[in-house]
Every structure is written in C-alpha cells, then in structure tokens.
Amino acid sequence: MTRPFAEIVIACHDEARPLERAVASLLQDADIRDRVRVTVVAHGIDPAPLAGRLANIDGDVRVVGFTDGIRSAAGPFNHGLELVEGEYCGVMGSDDFLEPGVMSRWIAHVERERPDAAIAQIRLQSQTVMPNPLVRLGRRRKLDAAKDRLFYRTAPLGLLRTARLRELGLRMVEGVRVGEDFDFGIRLWAHAGRVDFLAGMGSYVIGEDAGERTTGAMLTMAERFAPIDRLFDDGVFSSLNAAHRQALVVKLIRVSIVGTAQAVAEQAPSDDDVRTIADLLRRLLAEAPRALRPFNRQDRRVLDGLLDEPTSRRMVADVRRSRQSGRLERWLTPDLVHSFARESTLRRYMLYFCRRDRGSNA
C-alpha cells in the first residue's frame, strides 16, 4: 500500500468496544478508501484478536501494541500519531464513528483548501449536531480562536496537517485521568495557522452505546481543575495574544467555574472545595481582568459571591437564587453595555436563532 493521504489513529483499551464500527466508518467511502489508513493502537491488550476482528474490512488497517500501564488514551494516541505517515492525520475514540460520506467530503475539502486544521462537525449518537464551535454566521474558513469561539471545542477531532502538528510539538498529556487533550486543543486552535470548520459535511458521532467511557468516573475538585492548572504551569496563557487569552479565560470561567459551582451546590461542598473554586477564579482573572464583563446577571451572582465570600453556605445560596432568575437576568449583563459582547448570553442566543433560521449548518 502506498503512503496514505490521511491517517486516523484509534486507541482501544477494551476488546468489548465496537471497534469494527469505528474502523469501517473511516473506510466506507469507496472513492477515497485507497487514500486512508487506520492505525489501531491496542492499549495494554493483545493486538492479535483486534487484528483478527478487523481482517475482513476492506482498506488499509494496521494494529499495533502499546503498553504504559496508565488508564488514559493519551499514551496510545501519542504513540499512534508518532507512527503517522499521512499528510493529514486525526484521532478517533473506539466508541465513535463517522456518518457515511464524511471522510470523502473531509478529504476533498482539505485537499482543495489545504488548511492546517479542519474541525469536525460532531453530534452525540442520540442527538442532533452540537452547536460548538459557535462560529460567526457564514464563516467556515480561516477561523479565529477568539472571534469564532474555538476554545469551546477542546477535542481535536477532524483532520490535522501532520507536519504542522509536529512543528508545534503537540502531544496529549500522559498520566492524567482527564483532560489529556486540553492543552493540545488550545494550542492547536491558537497557533496552527489556518483553521477551517467542516460544517455541513456530515458528523463525527460520539458513541453512547458502548458502556462506560474512560472519563466517566467521579472526580475530586483537584482532578476537575488539574487540566487548567497545567495551562498555567506549561505557559499556555503567556503564549496567547490578548484576545485569545481573554476568550480562553471567559470559556474556562463559564464552563469550569460556573459549571462546577452549579454541579456541586446540592452536594454540600466543603468550604475548602469552595475556596479552591474561588482561588482558581481569581487566578484566571489575573490573566484576563475584564473577563467577567460578558457574563449575565444570573452567573455574576455566583461569580461575585465566590470573590466576595468563598464559603459553602454563600455559594450554595447564590446558586439556588440564580436558578430562579428571570429572562432579563439570564440575558443581560449587570452594566448593560456588554450585553451584546461576543461572549454574552444574549449574543449567543441570537446566533442560535440565526443559525436555526438559516439551517443548522449556517
């Protein structure tokens, strides 16, 4: 078999995974089958049974063994990406798959446009297309990490130019329970060069029918925030320009600070846990002091409370009151001026409405 144009790495740590479905979906389009290679990394298991199961799939499939003793996909993904020979590469979970025709359309796009990274449109198996990244209306090519909200899509799913990946030295973080692709995705969207969105070309589907995924276990507060702590330790914030740093901090506050506060409020969190949340919030604001401006009044109740009185009693009370917020509190920022800012809730709702009116892939 000649050198492939695109090569996709699948990490598999459990023989019970629906691996055949994942591999077959990558090779199902006959027009590009001879241009794609699938590399399956048998993580801590015997590769021979996996190779036997895949033997009848038409196309270039190789199975390689890898053992590191760590229950994380980072090691096998890094190993597989090091073996890649194709001009473009990508990763896929062993539970996941592509819709028919997707790989063919992806390859046609990257061969024509030559982006450094092309972001997949994704959906959960039982749901419709996910709205992230919520790019500017009509924008699919030459995206900007801040203007097109790329940091809301951490997982680097799609096709990536192999040479650019190696120039940037991007690797997934090994030896961690969650967030192995956090740093990888952020650096990719900010520094890759040209980034396109493969919207309207069919979806990468996240499988939900294969039992527990490796990231499904309950996490301590320290484990929840470890991927963000690594961003500070590894100099990721300092590597970003001001606009990208602001966009990343807003996303992290929205998802990791507000999201965590809401998730643990009914679990009687300790004062130590709440102080951990508040300390991270202050640390993020030190990187982008204006990051709270686009947050609505509902979220500001929780965020301002964390800054003012980081106790369990106060945070739980603020979260409960925030859940009773009316439309104006959910739509508007405290100072009104920033209610239409790029990262505001009202601006997001307007984009959702416009995309729905123009079609889900607008």
Q: Residue 174: name the closest of 65, 67, 18, 46 by CA.
A: 67
Over residues 324-349, mean pLDDT:
93
Structure tokens at 306: 């964390």
pLDDT of residue 214: 47
Please report which confidence band the pLDDT of residue 215 belongs to, taking 50, 70 and 90 as the band edges: very low
Query: How far is it between the farthest Cα atoms of the chain?
Result: 64
β-pair type (122-124, 204-206): parallel
Do residues 185 and 156 lie in contact, with contact meaning Cβ atoms separated by under 8 Å? yes
The confidence score (pLDDT) of residue 168 equals 96
pLDDT band at 175 (very low <50, low <70, confident <90, very high): confident
Whether 148 shows a pLDDT value over 60: the answer reads yes
Judged against a pLDDT cut of 70, whether residue 75 lies above it is answered with yes
Taking 50 as the threshold, does the pLDDT of residue 43 lie above it?
yes
Q: Give me the pLDDT at residue 356, please.
A: 62
Least confident of 39-43, 110-114, 123-127, 255-259: 123-127
Question: What are 226-251's pLDDT values in tens digits?
Answer: 999 999 999 999 999 999 999 999 99
Which is more confident, 132 or 215? Answer: 132
Give me the pLDDT at residue 212, please. Answer: 55
Residues 84-94 have a mean pLDDT of 97
Determine which of 60-64, 123-127, 257-261 has the lowest per-residue pLDDT on average.
123-127
Residue 353 confidence (pLDDT): 80
pLDDT tops 80 at residue 14: yes
Q: Judge whether 231 and 183 are in contact, CB under 8 Å.
A: yes
Residue ranges per structural domain of the chain: 6-206, 221-358
Whether 237 contacts 245, CB under 8 Å: yes
pLDDT for res 334 = 96
Residue-level pLDDT at 177: 74
Residues of the chain with pLDDT > 90, as a percent, come to: 85
Q: Which of 36-45, 103-112, 337-346, 347-356 shows the lowest mean pLDDT across its residues?
A: 347-356
- The pLDDT score that the predictor gives to residue 71 is 84
Q: What is the average per-residue pLDDT within 172-187?
A: 90
Q: What is the pLDDT of residue 115?
A: 98
Q: Can you tell me whether residue 122 is helix, strand or coil?
A: strand
Identify the CATH assignment for 6-206 out of 3.90.550.10, 3.40.50.10860, 1.10.1740.10, 3.30.200.20. 3.90.550.10
Beta-strand ranges (E) seen in the chain are: 6-12, 36-43, 60-66, 88-93, 97-98, 117-120, 122-124, 158-161, 195-198, 204-206
The predicted structure's pLDDT at residue 72: 87
